[in-house]
Amino acid sequence: RFIAKPCALGLKVQANGPQKAQPNAILEKVFTAITKHPDEKRLEGLSKQLDWDVRSIQRWFRQRRNQEKPSTLTKFCESMWRFTFYLYIFTYGVRFLKKTPWLWNTRQCWNGYPYQPLMPDLHYYYIVELSFYWSLMFSQFIDIKRKDFGIMFTHHIVTVTLITFSYVTNLTRVGTLTLCLHDAADVVLEAAKMANYCKCQKLSDLLFLTFAIVFIVSRLGIYPLWILNTTLFELYEALGNFPALWVFNVLLVILQVLHWFWSYLIIKAAYKAISKGKVAKDDRSDIESSSDEEETVPRSKTPHSTITTNGTGGANGTNGYLTGGTCSEEH
């Protein structure tokens, strides 16, 4: 409110949200009391009742759904907050880990386990990360909602469970490596989103492609070869079999499955970026759009009707997560 919003206005980020649909009592009643996505039969009935063609009614419902979506300014402020947090916590994690022996030799994660002292810096790192992901667990219900809401909700549950479980069982050394590795890509992602909201398309595309590389290298390369290798094999060799080992590894493998899903979406978006010269529309866009949105007057079924409404007025209606790419909130 006091930092991100002035920055956004200074960068001339649009403060207005999607264009509002023309007031219509009949359509509003259907929208609020019956359905937000009318089927063909209902559309035909409304078309006869209002003397509008079906396409115009579809456009009205699309505009009415978009009307409840957040403005670009709101999304910029959310991204700036997350960018600030990720940048801070990633920098803190790197500074902390470069002084630890387990950064360069993962076998040190199990040296002396479970009697490993909980250093104040490590404790602070864990508590701040845990509090942040707890906040995401609850704020995702009131923040900007995406099409992969279920996947993100699963991710947050797994992350909070992992952080809590590793803290309780004192598996914190490998936990710090996992946290720092994941924060690296998120910094670039939020920067790309802010550039997109500022309409800096070239910078947004560059940052998105950088994010794609960092994400794939860290989540599909370093994570399984570095993190999963030490938890699945080195931990077993050092300490043998115990119940917490299997619970911990199941959660880490679930996280890897989510990495594969998001990597597929990111690679698809990156391919579009390279083949078309810019990143295509985000598959997770929270604003609906259609090729017919340039029309501003609902076409009456009667040729000489004088009914007029407010259409999209030329707005493209795609204030997406990243105009250029299918990026996950994320992770």
pLDDT at 320 over 70: no
Note every long-range contact of 299-307, with CB atoms under 8 Å and residues 24 or more positions apart, other chains counting. Answer: 299/52, 299/53, 299/55, 299/56, 300/51, 300/52, 300/53, 301/47, 301/51, 301/52, 301/53, 302/51, 305/51, 307/51, 307/52
Q: What are the structural domains of the chain? A: 19-68 (1.10.10.60), 72-281 (no CATH)
pLDDT of residue 69: 77
**Sequence-ordered strand ranges (E) for 233-277:** none
CA 96 to chain centroid, in Å, comes to 27
pTM beyond 0.85, yes or no: no
Under the banding of pLDDT at 50, 70 and 90, the label for residue 25 is: confident
Please give the mean pLDDT across all residues of the chain: 82
pLDDT of residue 311: 38
What Å distances lie between residue 174 and 162, 169, 227, 254, 309, CA to CA? 11, 12, 7, 17, 60
**β-bridge partners, 52:** 300
State the Cα–Cα distance between residues 159 and 310, nearest whole angstrom.
45
Rg of the chain, C-alpha, whole Å: 24
Q: What is the pLDDT of residues 46-104, one digit of tens each?
A: 888 888 888 888 888 888 887 777 788 888 999 999 999 999 999 999 999 999 999 99
Task: List the single range of 171-180, 236-245, 250-259, 314-323 with lowest mean pLDDT.
Answer: 314-323
pLDDT of residue 219: 95
Higher pLDDT, 186 or 294: 186
